[in-house]
Chains A and B, each alone.
Chain A
């Protein structure tokens, strides 16, 4: 693996970044988490990211604003939207503006891993750690006997 996948995670709920940061790191991504969208937008100006994961509803700048900014700065970046209470209207708007995928709250770490892996695939990047993790996960759920 030459360059790790650069992922930016923006959610005004601090726990989301705190938990998902390590999860994405373990996948082999180079992750930066932000609670304030304005700070994240400043960072975007300095550094190009492969994947941006952003919550839609936030104070100051909302997810749509982030999406527009990312697409303006770097059209190839894949943007994954986290939405609390998916409304068709917002989904349409996000899709029209070039969002790559949606994750609806509440979600599990696995959902995030899959979405990021899909984005990486779409970018043509390999993620062996991610593949390994997913196999491990399947084994884990079988062992613990959790229903799928």
Chain B
């Protein structure tokens, strides 16, 4: 009786070990990929943003300071020119008095001297506004006028009050020169007034435009920071949802640089690893619970071969002398056969109970379901329940961990057994799902159904309808976690009094079978971070 398949615990153990090593290497690889990017922290971006705003403000301040300086110069210049014009006009008034009454010439000359003093005293300021050539414009005119006045005074002293033609001519030149001088000064004054108002306007414009520019810079800064932070926050929100749904794929780099969110990603990856470890423990402990449930059926079933062996051995012992060789041979053959039967009854269960590493491989679902039903066969027989397996022909394979999926289906079948009345019926159907590239496994019972108000909480951890100490409320939650890891989902539909249907939808494998051996490629539709 060596036909019972032998399992190879060392090989499976080694597989689990290799799996753990592989997972650890992958986690390390992802950690390195996350860390080994150039660092561009949020803090740095904030600093740079504010620095840009500061540089802009500083530029504005410098421009304004320069402009105010310019304005001050111009105002000073206007004051000088104004004083100059007043002195020149004063000179001209004295000149008029002199021409009319022959008096005040010395006053006029004094005013001209004052005007010249104003010009020479403020040579620096004038040069700053008019350029170095200023003295070529104003001083010669003033000096020409001064010279004419002096000549007129000398002529006056020599020829008395009566004017000759030379005096007439000189008077006309003095008047003309004086007029030109005043009008030139006035022209300069009005030009500089216009220039001052331009400078004032420029100050105002610098203020308004730089304010607008500052607004743009600040808005841009806020926008860039916002995009970066909100984008990352949204991304991490998606990660959280994904993790909550049971997808424990670590976060992989999604940008070209690292920052504070990278630290968060590293922490979340550590958390994911911890969650995954805990889930593995949870799955295993839940599996042991299922094993416990199956034990009553197994113990019952085991009694039959054990009883056959006991009876046969005792009869052989009692009647040994009176039996023919052929009869003895037959009895020994019975003992051997029944021992094999006993072994087979427990080997399925022990095989299922064994802790194994995650092994992904292409799976034939109808075959897997038949194995699962065999596992629960004793339980099913014990309660006199009929179970039917129907499957479509030529179903594509799914990619998954046979142990874990068997656990999911076993859980659904055990639930269906619990829901069924004694002597009831359970249907297990495998068909292509409504959506393409998915296969659906339906476990249908005809029990009392599930009330609509508890349907939404059915997959919540610790939710149970079974009595205290009978159910942990983790079966469906663990199952959902396993199915989600396979890229599928579990759905339930039920009507009170009409039983319930649990549907497990799994993606079909799109990876060639030979690749699936030992390489553990991820399911085709697995979400990428």
Contact = CB atoms under 8 A, between A and B. Distances in A.
A23 B310 CA distance: 14
B311 A109 contact: yes
Given A108-B311, A109-B315, A15 B303 contact: no
A109 B296 contact: no
A17 B338 CA distance: 15
Contacts of A57: 300, 381-382
Nearest to B298: A85
Contacts of B90: none
A15 B334 contact: yes
Contact of B314 (A15, A62, A84, A108): A108
B307 A105 contact: yes
Given A57-B300, A85-B296, A15 B308 contact: yes
Interface in B272-313: 296, 299-301, 303-304, 306-312
Contacts of A109: 311, 314-315, 318
A108 B310 contact: yes
A84 B311 contact: no
Interface string A43-77: 00000000000000100001000000000000000
A67 to B, nearest CB: 16
Given A13-B307, A84-B303, A85-B303, A19 B312 contact: yes
Interface in A93-122: 105-110
A23 B318 CA distance: 10
A42 B132 CA distance: 141
In the complex, which of the residues B303, B314, B315 has the most CB atoms of chain A within 10 Å of its own CB atom?
A: B303
* Range for the number of chain B residues in contact with chain A: 20 to 34
In the complex, which of the residues A20, A57, A107 has the most CB atoms of chain B within 10 Å of its own CB atom?
A: A57
Interface residues of A, number: 19
B1 to A, nearest CB: 16
Contact of A105 (B306, B314, B382, B384): B306
Interface string A114-148: 00000000000000000000000100100000000
B382 A15 contact: no
A9 B152 CA distance: 168
B300 A106 contact: no
A84 B300 contact: yes
A69 B44 CA distance: 90
Contacts of A107: 307, 310-311
B304 A105 contact: yes
Contacts of B311: 15-16, 19-20, 106-109
Nearest to A137: B318
A105 B303 contact: yes
A16 B311 CA distance: 7
In the complex, which of the residues A62, A107, A137 has the most CB atoms of chain B within 10 Å of its own CB atom?
A: A107
Contacts of B382: 57, 85
B315 A19 contact: yes
B195 to A, nearest CB: 113
Contacts of B296: 85
Given A57-B382, A62-B384, A85-B296, A13 B304 contact: yes
A62 B381 CA distance: 12
Contacts of A23: 315
A55 B300 CA distance: 12
Contact of B315 (A22, A105, A137, A140): A22
Contacts of A16: 307-308, 311
Interface in A14-54: 15-16, 19-20, 22-23
A57 B297 CA distance: 12
Contacts of B384: 62
A140 B338 contact: no
Nearest to A82: B307
A107 B313 CA distance: 11
A16 B301 CA distance: 15
Interface in B381-436: 381-382, 384
A15 B300 CA distance: 17
A62 B382 CA distance: 11
Contact of B304 (A20, A84, A108, A110): A84
Nearest to B317: A144
Interface in B115-164: none
Given A23-B315, A57-B382, A109-B311, 13 more contacts: A13-B304, A15-B312, A20-B311, A57-B300, A57-B381, A62-B384, A84-B303, A85-B296, A85-B299, A85-B300, A106-B303, A109-B315, A140-B318
Pick the 3 closest A-B CB pairs, nearest first. Answer: A85-B300, A106-B307, A15-B308
24 contacts: A13-B304, A15-B308, A15-B334, A16-B308, A16-B311, A19-B312, A19-B315, A57-B382, A62-B384, A84-B300, A84-B307, A85-B296, A85-B382, A105-B304, A106-B303, A106-B307, A106-B310, A106-B311, A107-B310, A108-B311, A109-B314, A109-B315, A110-B314, A140-B318
